[in-house]
Chain A
Amino acid sequence: MQPAVELNEVSKSFRVRRARSGGASARVRELFRARTETVLAVDRLSFSIAPGERVAFIGPNGAGKSTTLKVLAGILRPDAGEVRVLGLVPSRQRHALAFQIGTVFGQRSQLWYQLPPRDTFELLGRVYDLDRRSHAQRIAMLTAVFELGSLVDTPVRHLSLGERMRCEIVASLLHSPHILFLDEPTIGLDVSAKAVIRELLRTESERERVTLLLTSHDTGDMERVCTRVIVIHGGRLLWDGPIGALRRGYLKTKRVTLWSDAEHLELAMPGVRVLASGSYRTELEVALDITPLGRVIDAAVRVAPIRDMAIDDAPLDDVIRALYANADNRSGAS
């Protein structure tokens, strides 16, 4: 089966202006000859995504996530490497590709600010050459699914951020794209609005078999929407695999919470760190490659009777933080 997205050794750099340091003479020189620097945003990046997959695309700020999305959408041209989206080369076939992809940029807006979202939806119907009747049906269907109700006829400036984001996603789905690129779609949203957006994205992707590529700094977005994660750092691929494998495979630690008869459970073992202790509850972080979990439980039982326990993988935030820190150390060392 042809991949929905395929990148092969893709690089993209930008020339950015850097202010000259120094006094007045440096500033005068700056007027005539600006000092520029080349920043490598994406560095020989390769990955592929199968149709219908929901992939989280993460990395620290400046890692090259948004640049990659823009290269995939045909907005930016790569300097080197091959890109194919649905079999098309985005930089050369942007027009044809635009009919088959949708984009959502969390910090940008495609809705006309003074007008109700419906006006933008109507415009998009023309932009994508949609049949008037089927477009109206599509608007009605998505409006119902995303529970927009009267919001669709309310001027955008009166909508909350969460309501606006639902409208932005509907606008991006109107032409029934095969792929949806989402750049931080839940940024700035409150907990309940985030939950709504995540649920809608997941169900829409399943219902219409839309491939999702989602960038976010929020691990909740990844865990609740996506099944696979691609991590980049400094424009290079750091990790690519199922989210569960990242949780379990990268950081070999477990969180163990014990409820015992002892108010404080004292456990001094190599590879075991007490995260919290008190009120008959002890939270431990266990490094499995140093001490097996069974030995920790045995030791705890010997100290005091255990009434209950919970064993969890390390939080994804911790895993990702460790992943970034390792990458920083490696790039620092090299």
Chain B
Amino acid sequence: MTRFIRRYAAFARIAIAQARRERAELYGRAAFFVVILGVFSSLWRAAADAGLPVAAEPRSLVWYLAATEWIVLSAPPIHLDIQEAIRRGDVVYQLGRPVSYVIAEFASALGLLAFRAPLLGLAAFLCAYAFTGWIPPLGALAIVVPFGLAAAALLTALFLWTGLLAFWLQDVSPVYWLGQKLMFILGGLMLPLTVYPEIVRRIAALTPFPVVLGEPASFLLKDAMVTPGALVRNLAIWCCMTALALGWIFRRARVALTINGG
């Protein structure tokens, strides 16, 4: 077991080292918080001032959005790396090693996540505070952070699943974009799912998206969507299902494997 952990921790470590040298994208993502939270904090304040019904107190909503965006932006776009490795044929090296390709890729992605999440979390915190002048109760933040990290890890696994489709598809970006749009709606990226119509909420409950976004972030609202215990259960269920889906798709990919250049 120790050997197993040491082996895959090495992938995480080298991914962190690489991420430290590729910081430009991270700065871009951090800057994105300024724009998105600036726009939405103004929007919700204006909506509240105009007497329009808003899902929750505007400042809570800004923090909710900061949390969901933090989760989305922290998850590394691993599907692009996998697609590129398959296109270039570099995947032959990874497939020929005495390690699980899927676990190695996931470990690398977790390394990237471990590097990005603290920096983006800090950016989210500072921006949300700057636009609201308010900090949610520390107890709520203490719940959101670990659940947010777990949710980002699950989202990373979903990106990994998308990336594995590159064994069949030339370009996985249509699948990614479709998944992302569904996640934004069914996960409750900008507004909590409680304000959505019943039918949407029912459909959303059949997907992993609320577990990834809305449920962890909802602890920043007055009324959380779930209890911490329920969220632990939901995360565990979706993690197991994603792991099974990853194993299944990778076994099929190995059989269907053709590699560029022979």
Say how far B55's CB is from chain A's closest CB, in angstroms.
Answer: 41
Binary contact readout A31-74 vs B (1 if CB under 8 angstroms, 0 otherwise):
00000000001000000000000000000001011110110011
A75 adjacent to B96 (CB under 8 Å): yes
A66 to B262, CA, bound (A): 5
For A108, give its contact among B7, B14, B18, B93 (CB under 8 Å): B93
**Residues of B196-229 whose CB lies within 8 A of A:** none
Binary contact readout A116-144 vs B (1 if CB under 8 angstroms, 0 otherwise):
00011011001111000000000000000
User: Is A16 located at the chain interface by the 8 A CB criterion?
Assistant: yes
A76 to B18, CA, bound (A): 30
A126 to B14, CA, bound (A): 11
Say how far A331's CB is from chain B's closest CB, in angstroms.
Answer: 19
* Residues of the B chain whose Cβ atoms lie less than 8 Å from the Cβ of A126: 6-7, 9-10
User: Is A112 located at the chain interface by the 8 A CB criterion?
Assistant: yes
* Residues of the A chain whose Cβ atoms lie less than 8 Å from the Cβ of B99: 127
| B-contacting 9-mer, from A98-106, A268-276, A277-285, A307-315 | A98-106
* Residues of the A chain whose Cβ atoms lie less than 8 Å from the Cβ of B89: 105, 107-108
User: Is B255 located at the chain interface by the 8 A CB criterion?
Assistant: yes
A119 to B3, CA, bound (A): 19
Binary contact readout A191-221 vs B (1 if CB under 8 angstroms, 0 otherwise):
0000000000000000000000000000000
Say how far A76's CB is from chain B's closest CB, in angstroms.
Answer: 6
User: Is B98 located at the chain interface by the 8 A CB criterion?
Assistant: yes
A147 to B10, CA, bound (A): 26
For A120, give its contact among B14, B92, B255 (CB under 8 Å): B14
B98 adjacent to A127 (CB under 8 Å): yes
- Give the interface size class of chain B: 20 to 34
Whether A67 contacts B262 in the complex (CB less than 8 A), given A95-B98, A108-B90, A119-B14, comes out as: yes
B259 adjacent to A70 (CB under 8 Å): yes
A115 adjacent to B17 (CB under 8 Å): yes
For B90, give its contact among A94, A95, A110, A122 (CB under 8 Å): A110
**Interface size in chain A (residues, C-beta < 8 A):** 40
Looking across the interface, which residue of chain B has its beta carbon closest to that of A183? B262
Say how far A247's CB is from chain B's closest CB, in angstroms.
Answer: 27
A75 adjacent to B259 (CB under 8 Å): yes
A110 adjacent to B262 (CB under 8 Å): no
A127 to B261, CA, bound (A): 26
A112 to B22, CA, bound (A): 12
A76 to B255, CA, bound (A): 8
User: Is B88 located at the chain interface by the 8 A CB criterion?
Assistant: yes
A75 adjacent to B10 (CB under 8 Å): no
* Residues of the A chain whose Cβ atoms lie less than 8 Å from the Cβ of B13: 123
Looking across the interface, which residue of chain A has its beta carbon closest to that of B170? A17
B22 adjacent to A114 (CB under 8 Å): yes
A119 adjacent to B17 (CB under 8 Å): yes
Query: Which residues of B are in contact with A by a Cβ distance under 8 Å?
Result: 3, 6-7, 9-11, 13-14, 17-18, 21-22, 88-90, 92-99, 254-255, 257-259, 261-262
18 A-B pairs within 8 Å (CB atoms) are namely A66-B259, A66-B261, A70-B259, A76-B257, A77-B254, A95-B98, A103-B92, A108-B88, A108-B89, A108-B92, A112-B18, A113-B18, A115-B18, A119-B14, A122-B10, A126-B9, A127-B97, A129-B7
Query: Which residues of A are in contact with B by a Cβ distance under 8 Å?
Result: 14, 16, 41, 62, 64-67, 69-70, 73-77, 94-96, 98-99, 101, 103, 105, 107-110, 112-115, 119-120, 122-123, 126-129, 155
Apart from A105-B93, A126-B7, A129-B3, 9 more pairs, CB < 8 Å = A41-B262, A75-B92, A98-B96, A107-B89, A112-B14, A114-B22, A115-B14, A115-B18, A126-B10
